[in-house]
Structure 1
């Protein structure tokens, strides 16, 4: 047995506790051989005897009966602090309701004020766009071209329309169609000049082609430099597209009915 193992068993040896006989014999043999372990065992035995003597002396000592009664009386007469429970009042709820009402009123006033501020700007923005449309119509109308009027119904085998030097032939109408029915289909239109979509040479025109009426978003006019009314930005606008014999669009013009 070594000193470390003896250190673990010294308290049990000093108190005389029951342990294995072989282990106790080895510990006592090591205590006789090692002086430090012997001194440690003697100190533990002396401490154990002193604590036992103190225990015997304290058994005869007890508190007087009057002390117990005084302690009980002191505990009974002490002031117990009861927690103060706050009363529930409606003031907090009323304040919350008033604050919410004020927020709603301020929100409505701010919304109406912003709406009134936007209306003059929209009117101002709409007026120049109408002026630009009038200028564009006046610019596209040549001096020799009269003001568009409601044409009288005529019976012709063929009718030709000249579009800025481009001739588009339309098939002959049925000669037996009633004149009143023809007049109902006549619509007054104002058209812009044709704008080339690609390189346009006279050879492409001589080969022939056709004009197709389509509807485009009004925003498409802005990409060709025409003024657009922002109030009608999402509406449709009619346009004539000049297609060549190869099916490629060569030019476009925008049409307005009135």
Structure 2
């Protein structure tokens, strides 16, 4: 499947991942949609959104491409990003333009193969696929399976890559050199300078999440740094 307009729109730009933990007050469709709208108003060329409910809310607020996914937790599989076709189907129906899937080499739930999943998304949903990978081997498998985009999303977040820390600039460089499939740099981009470095390194686009929309974890980091002992010395 060739590049369609939703993919070409992303080239060279910033995609903001607008997500929040399920336990967070931010985990409300209207709040996620507001995050997305704010990001787009400042120049983001796309957004990355989890769950049909949130995708639907965001679709009502923005016209830029939505990279949609649906995280699931299985006891018998570590694959959690849009693991099966019916999850992709729900995301597409909610208004996603691009379907992001876990494309690591880990066993998939339900026995569906990576190639089979990508083929069904193309044939039945008419949507391009972003393959979230963790290693060069998984990137190669995703390319062979027919993915439209690669993403370094899971670099540093799997057992295979637990010894490394994102962002995966080295992995990005290798992928750009070896494959013609566009690669989005995602994961661990914590500054504007890092985002620029990713694009200069050959990334098709760059996804930033926590550094922009991760209010919960960012507030926690600051609070942890401001210890009670620091505050007590200012009390009378």
Relative contact order (C-alpha < 8 Å, sep 6+): which is higher? 2
Give the TM-score normalised by the residue count of structure 2.
0.17
Give the TM-score normalised by the residue count of structure 1.
0.16
> Which protein has the larger Cα radius of gyration, Structure 1 or Structure 2?
1
